[in-house]
Structure 1
Amino acid sequence: MKEPNQKTWGKKLLSGLKQLSIMLILFILVSTVVDLWRGKDLPTESLPTMTAVDLNGDLVDVLAMSYDDAVLVYFWGTWCPVCQFVTPAVDILSEHYSVVSVAMSSGSDKKMKHFLSDKGYTLSTINDRQGFLSRKWSVQVTPTVMVFKNGELQYYTTGFTSLPGMWWRLLTA
C-alpha cells in the first residue's frame, strides 16, 4: 500500500480549504439575499415605536435606549425550534450589551416567567401574547434579530444567527 507524500497531502488540504472558503462565501451571499427578501416589508422610514412593559414591570423604550448604546432586539417564541439554539446566545449577550427580547405568542406572563426561570435566562423580555408588537414590526419569521443605534434600524436578520454574528452586528452598529 502506497502512502501519500507530503506534497499530495498539502494539495488535498489546499483544495479542501478552497472548497470550504467558496461554500462560506456562498452561504453568506445566500443568507444576505434571503434576509433582504424577508425584510422587504420591514419599516425603515418612520420607525414604529417599540415601547412596552417587560415581565419585570420595567418600561422598555428600545429607540430611546439606542441613543446610549446599540440595542439588540430578539423576536422569538417558546414554540420555535430554532430559537432553542439562538436564545442561549442572546442571553449571554444580554449580560454585556443592551438586549430586549420579545416573546411572540408564548403564553401568559406567569408561563413566560416560569419558562425563563426554568432555562436560567435573565434577559429583559416583553411578552407579546397576541403578537401586536411583532405585527407592528412586520416580523413573520422566528427568530428575528434587529440591532438599533441612534434611533435607527442598523441590522435585521432572520433564522439561525450565531453568537459571533450578533456580537459583530452590535459592535459595528
Structure 2
Amino acid sequence: MKSWLKQISFIIIVYLITSFAVDTWRTRGIDRQSLPDLQGKTIYNTTINLKELSFEQPILVYFWGTWCPVCSFVSPSIDTISQHYPVYSIAMQSGDNKTLKTYMKIESYQFNVINDDNNRIANSLGVQVTPLVMVIDQGELVHFTTGYVSLFGLWWRIAF
C-alpha cells in the first residue's frame, strides 16, 4: 500500500510540474504586469471594456474558437460558471456575428461573446493558444491557464 501511495504521489507531482511548465511556455507572450485596454463589441453590438469591468469585481475571460476541439470540452464549464460569475469570452477567428450567434444557439451557450475575428484583442494581449482562461481583478491578471480546465478549476480560479 505504501508503495502505491508513493507512486501515485510521484505521478501527481510530475503532472503538476509538467502542467505548470506547459502553461508557462504557452503564455510566454502575455505581459502579466501591464494589461492593455481590453475592449470590444459583443455579437449583439454592446461595447465592453474588460479591464474597466474588472474594477467592479473579478471577471473570467475566456479565449476560444469554434474550430478549437479542446474548447468544445471547456465551453460547457464556462457556460455553467457564467451563471454565477461574470464571464466574457473572446471568440478568435470564428466567423462573423451571425455565424457566432448561430453557433451559440445550437450549443445553448449563454456566456457573453466578443467577436475577435481578426485577432486584434488576442494579439494586443499576446494570446497564441486556445483555450485560454484568465481571471482579471482590479485591472490585473491574477490567474490564467491554457488547455482543458474543469468546472472546479474555473470556480477555484475566480473564487480565490
TM-score bin (small chain): over 0.9
Q: TM-score, normalised by structure 2?
A: 0.94
Q: State the Cα distance separating 1:25 from its structure 2 match.
A: 2.0
Mapping 1:1-173, distance limit 5 Å:
11=1, 14-172=2-160
CA distance in 2, matches of 1:29, 1:45: 23
SS at match of 2:144: strand
CA distance in 2, matches of 1:164, 1:18: 26
* CA offsets 1:9-37 (integer angstroms, 9 cap, x no match): xx3xx543432232222211111121122
Counterpart residue number, 1:7: none
Amino-acid identity (%): 41
**Which structure would you say has the larger Rg?**
1
Higher relative contact order (CA 8 A, sep 6+): 2
Q: Partner residue of 1:4?
A: none
Cα contact 2:68–2:130 (8 A) shared by 1: yes
User: Which residue identity is paired with 2:61?
Assistant: V
RMSD (CA atoms):
1.3
Unaligned runs of 5+ in 1: 1-10
Q: Is the 8 A contact 2:93 2:117 kept in 1?
A: yes
Are 2:39 and 2:121, in contact at CA under 8 Å, matched by a contact in 1? no
1-side partners of 2:94 and 2:58: how far apart? 26
Aligned residues: 160
**Secondary structure of 2:78 counterpart:** helix
Q: TM-score, normalised by structure 1?
A: 0.87
Q: Which amino acid aligns with 1:131?
A: N
